[in-house]
Structure 1
Amino acid sequence: MSTADIAVTQADTDRIGDWADLVSSAFVPLECRGRADGFRAVLNSRTVGGLQMTRIDTTALQVARTSRAITRSDPGGFKVVLQLRGSAQLSQDERQAWLQPGDLAIYDTSRQYTITTDGEERFQCFVLMFPVTHLGIPIDAMRRVTCTRIDGRDGLGGLISPFLSRMADSVFAHEPYVDSRLMRNTMDLIETLYRQRLDLAPADPDSVMRSRLLVVKAWIRRRLSQPDLSPELVAAAHHMSIRYLYRHFEAEGTTVARWIKEQRLEGCRRELAEPSLARFNVSAIAARWGMLDPAGFSRSFRAVYGESPRAYRIRHLAGSGDDHVLQSPIQTPLVSVNSSIPAGPNSRPEPLAPKPP
Structure 2
Amino acid sequence: MPVGQRPAYWREALSRTFSAVDIVLPDNVYSGTIRTSQLGSLRVATVECDGLYCVRNSRLISQGNSEDVIVRLQGRGVARLEQGAREVYLHPGEIVLYDMTRPHRMDFPEPQQTKSLVLPRRLLGLEESDLQRLTAIPIRPDTALGALLSPFLSRLVDTAQTYPSHIGELLARNAVDLLTALADERLGRRTGETPGADRALLVRIQAYIGRHLADPDLTPKAIARTHHISERYLHKLFEQTDVTVGRWIQRRRVEECRRELAHPEAAGHTVAALARRWGFTSAAHFSRVFRAVYGMSPREWRDAGSMCGVSKTRSEPLDPGLHLARPGAEF
- Assess same fold via TM > 0.5: yes
Contact 1:15 1:36 in 2 (8 A): no
| Residue identity opposite 1:86 in structure 2 | G
CA drift at 1:81? 0.5
CA drift at 1:168? 2.3
Q: What are the within-5 Å matches in structure 2 for residues 193-208 of structure 1? A: 193-202=182-191, 205-207=194-196
Q: Establish whether residue 150 from structure 1 lines up as the match of residue 139 from structure 2.
A: yes
Aligned to 1:114: 105
Aligned to 1:73: 64
Q: Which runs of 5+ in 2 are unaligned?
A: 201-331
Q: Establish whether residue 22 from structure 1 lines up as the match of residue 13 from structure 2.
A: yes
Total equivalences in the alignment: 197
Identity %: 28
**Among 91, 108, 125, the residue aligned to 1:100:** 91
Tell me how far apart the structure 2 counterparts of residues 159 and 208 of structure 1 sit (CA, whole Å).
19
**What whole-Å deviation, never above 9, does each CA across 1:292-316 have from its counterpart, x for those lacking one?**
xxxxxxxxxxxxxxxxxxxxxxxxx
Aligned to 2:117: 128
SS at match of 2:150: helix
Tell me how far apart the structure 1 counterparts of residues 73 and 40 of structure 2 sit (CA, whole Å).
20
- For normalisation by structure 1, the TM-score amounts to 0.52
Q: Which moved more, 1:17-26 or 1:162-171?
A: 162-171
Q: Establish whether residue 54 from structure 1 lines up as the match of residue 45 from structure 2.
A: yes
Tell me how far apart the structure 1 counterparts of residues 46 and 193 of structure 2 sit (CA, whole Å).
30
| Residue identity opposite 1:161 in structure 2 | S
**What whole-Å deviation, never above 9, does each CA across 1:149-179 have from its counterpart, x for those lacking one?**
110222211111011111122124x145851
Q: Pick the structure with more helix per residue.
A: 2
**What whole-Å deviation, never above 9, does each CA across 1:236-270 have from its counterpart, x for those lacking one?**
xxxxxxxxxxxxxxxxxxxxxxxxxxxxxxxxxxx
SS at match of 2:75: strand
**Among 146, 167, 171, the residue aligned to 2:160:** 171
SS at match of 2:137: coil
The one of the two structures with greater contact order (alpha-carbon pairs below 8 A, sep at least 6) is 2
Contact 1:60 1:122 in 2 (8 A): yes
CA drift at 1:134? 0.6
**What whole-Å deviation, never above 9, does each CA across 1:214-239 have from its counterpart, x for those lacking one?**
xxxxxxxxxxxxxxxxxxxxxxxxxx
Tell me how far apart the structure 2 counterparts of residues 37 and 18 of structure 1 sit (CA, whole Å).
16
Q: What are the within-5 Å matches in structure 2 for residues 1-357 of structure 1? A: 15-118=6-109, 121-172=110-161, 174-175=162-163, 179-202=168-191, 205-207=194-196
Tell me how far apart the structure 2 counterparts of residues 139 and 210 of structure 1 sit (CA, whole Å).
20
Q: Which runs of 5+ in 1 are unaligned?
A: 1-10, 212-357
Tell me how far apart the structure 1 counterparts of residues 197 and 114 of structure 2 sit (CA, whole Å).
26
Q: 1:180 to 1:204 in 2, by over 3 A?
A: farther
Q: 1:139 to 1:203 in 2, by over 3 A?
A: farther
Contact 1:55 1:124 in 2 (8 A): yes
Tell me how far apart the structure 1 counterparts of residues 97 and 29 of structure 2 sit (CA, whole Å).
30
CA drift at 1:117? 0.9
SS at match of 1:102: coil
- For normalisation by structure 2, the TM-score amounts to 0.56
Aligned to 1:277: none
Tell me how far apart the structure 2 counterparts of residues 194 and 110 of structure 1 sit (CA, whole Å).
18
**What whole-Å deviation, never above 9, does each CA across 1:83-122 have from its counterpart, x for those lacking one?**
111110011001011111110010110110011013xx31
Tell me how far apart the structure 2 counterparts of residues 51 and 101 of structure 1 sit (CA, whole Å).
23
